[in-house]
Chain A
């Protein structure tokens, strides 16, 4: 087990370097001027060159990459062009906010997704199955952005029950787990949970239906196990795949959603990424993409290790 985890960890290194290279190249290939946020269009050519030099954009790309990578390994992601603040500070805050939002959304999505999936799979081809499947299809089909707007219109504008934007009355730096702040979390978390809920529900439904049709289940029943006992075995067999799907979904959510975080002005990584793109803030963009990509890499690692712990056959494979 330890050897397996170690081997997986070593695989992460080339992946990380590859990811860093790709994200560096992508942001530099994209059209547009990275100095657009600090220079008005009327800036003279001399001034433009002076600022370009001060940010190091006059150097060849391989040298820029090498300097950046060296600094990243020392925990220095550079300084945001647009704000002048260290990228690490910006990231730390945004990641914290996105973790709060995505964990709650994942919990909601996993709970309801598993519930609907299980119910649908267990009562396959009945009305209950159709209703649960319909809800899960809606979940994966509905556009996030639209759902967020609808929820805001109903619960904020019309009913006035929940706030429309922001991460609390005093901003996210004053976040505490009380009702005043949790109110700000409800609408974005529900909006964010809908897609994972649908995906998990569909996966679990297919798994449960498949497991129930297997011979060992008939064997369990023949042995005299009650429905509850059979169910326990079904859950145990469903868990590794459901967990893998949840891990991937959590990865997606931790990446933040540009649309959801923008609609709700939630100051997470998606919101930050959106702004970095619009401002061509290259150091910030590189930092966010690298960190988000590494989220995926490490989540996959954790899921792999967990899966192998739950089902040793995975290790052998």
Chain B
């Protein structure tokens, strides 16, 4: 009798404790849990949900402001500088006293180990499946050397001032914890590569980084749970919630239904048609222009109509982007270039991207076109795809808008992955099927991704994404100058000079910036939606 009473009481107590637990449930757009071992896949959504919450880089993004542009700040490195004599050598001073979630210390050995996990093929912990998503985001990093416990040297293949920005993509995983996982692999598995692979799989199920959250339960393709790391080194980012549950909900309507029925507290990218209903039920919709561009990337191949700068400017002046914004329920940013005027890389270009149909028509008339003699252009796009927003209605809007300025636009809609593959092949390739522009959206957080890959003669297809073969000695010079300017303020000035010239030369038709819409229950407090692809969960609370 007494035993059953005690059992009932303890059950009741557990129930009360569970009921008091503050859980934040997030419906992601990803179809699977992004990898949890420190180098997430699933694009930047991966970094957002299983990278930044659980790990730190030597450098981090500042996600504390909704108003200012998000910039790089010290993470696990307190300071860094390029060597005065050898511009391929960087010295990073590490933050003292930081521990991984398993209790082992973060130090220079850990940095070297994490660089080697993707760069040193004969390292015991080399992880081939982490190479792709990591190395391409820090293309010049070559190796790391320990100087002392809190000092590490990083070497690049060529002078590269973008390295500190690139390093936000290299998350520090715990070498000690990984070794524990390796030691637990049965001795019957003798192949070192297979042992390392299995150790990484085990690590993914029980990860250890230095971040504000610690992963505790992974159910592949269904859910991932994180709890606070109360010993996190930055007191401002010690989590306030008791648990975060990540749920992959790739269908926008399913995500919206999950939010409206109370199954989750937060969804990424709600179904646009459901926004009025979401707001009517007192949910909060957050949006802020992201470092993202929704463009037409133009071809400069022989015979392309875009070779005439007047035509490029006319197209940019002929789109009423405010009207497009209304069409999208307000969920887009109106672009003035690749980056916004408040960004350090803005550069104050002389060409103002705005809606001025009279000026556009004048330019087109000067270029020899008219209503009776329109310019035929073909654009390759997709019906859907990551970051593509709503490609069909948006492209049809642009098609209709440009018609007023003597453009006759043909849309060539192909499947997203095929389009993405074609992007690398270039406008001269058969896969372009004679298209004069391609509509693939891109992130602009890093100078290489934002500008260099589209304007350098070294990035012509198939090397990188300069699909349209835009580039010349002037741009190569501007890029080289930015890459070899190591003082951050001067580097930003050099990048601003590059951006200024890009906008003026207009190798794109800039149509929109994504605003990363997300809807949350009013119970979720402390939300700051920065001008970034990322968001910081740590300061949030659940009432």
Contacts and interface: CB of A to CB of B under 8 A. Distances in A.
A149 B253 contact: yes
B223 A54 contact: no
A160 B128 contact: no
Contacts of A11: none
A39 B32 CA distance: 17
A280 interface: yes
A97 B139 CA distance: 42
A83 B220 contact: yes
A90 interface: yes
B221 A82 contact: no
B219 interface: yes
B220 A265 contact: no
B453 A39 contact: no
Contact of B41 (A38, A41, A164, A172): A38
B180 interface: no
A47 B201 contact: no
B307 interface: no
Interface string B119-131: 0000000001101
B248 A40 contact: no
A45 B462 contact: yes
Interface string A29-50: 0011101111111111101001
B147 interface: no
A278 B129 contact: no
A150 to B, nearest CB: 11
A171 interface: yes
Interface in B374-431: 415, 417-418, 420-421, 423-424
Contact of B417 (A167, A275, A280): A280
Given A38-B132, A43-B132, A267 B418 contact: no
Contacts of B139: 42, 44
B35 interface: yes
B258 A36 contact: no
Interface in B257-273: 257-258, 260-263
Interface string A250-280: 0000000000001111010001101100111
A153 interface: yes
B135 interface: yes
Contacts of B132: 35, 38-40, 43, 47, 51
Contact of B263 (A36, A40, A166, A171): A166
B448 A42 contact: yes
Contacts of A50: 131
A163 B221 CA distance: 18
Interface residues of B, number: 50
A156 B223 CA distance: 20
A43 B417 contact: no
A265 B254 CA distance: 7
Given A40-B136, A41-B465, A42-B465, A82 B253 contact: no
B254 A264 contact: yes
Contacts of B201: 84-85
Contacts of A171: 219, 222-223
A173 B448 CA distance: 42
Interface in A274-315: 274-275, 278-280
A157 B32 contact: no
B319 interface: no
A101 to B, nearest CB: 14
A217 B253 CA distance: 53
A37 B260 contact: no
A172 B263 contact: no
A298 to B, nearest CB: 26
A187 to B, nearest CB: 10
Nearest to A163: B263
A112 to B, nearest CB: 25
A47 B222 contact: no
Given A41-B424, A163-B261, A51 B131 contact: yes
Q: Give the interface size bracket for A toward B.
A: 35 or more
A241 interface: no
Nearest to B31: A275
B133 interface: yes
A165 B247 CA distance: 10
B361 interface: no
B204 to A, nearest CB: 8
Contacts of A33: 417, 420-421
B32 A152 contact: no
Nearest to B137: A40
A160 B448 CA distance: 48
Interface string A44-71: 1101001100100000000000000000
A275 B222 CA distance: 13
B443 to A, nearest CB: 10
Contacts of B128: 51, 54
B247 A31 contact: no
Given A44-B136, A44-B139, A164 B263 contact: yes
Interface string B233-260: 0000000000000011111011001101
B184 interface: no
Given A40-B133, A40-B136, A43-B136, A173 B417 contact: no
Contacts of B257: 149, 152-153, 156-157, 164-165
B465 A278 contact: no
Nearest to B260: A157
A41 B247 contact: no
Q: Identify which of A83, A164, A173, A264 gathers the most chain B CB atoms within 10 Å of its CB.
A: A164
A42 B251 contact: no
Interface in A126-160: 149, 152-153, 156-157, 160
A156 B261 contact: yes
A165 B249 contact: yes
Q: Identify which of B132, B201, B421 gathers the most chain A CB atoms within 10 Å of its CB.
A: B132
7 contacts: A41-B465, A83-B32, A152-B261, A156-B261, A265-B258, A275-B250, A278-B417
The 9 closest A-B pairs by CB, nearest first: A32-B417, A171-B222, A164-B257, A156-B261, A43-B136, A171-B219, A39-B132, A38-B132, A275-B31
Given A42-B464, A44-B136, A82-B32, 11 more contacts: A33-B421, A44-B139, A44-B463, A84-B200, A160-B262, A165-B257, A166-B258, A171-B219, A262-B254, A265-B251, A275-B221
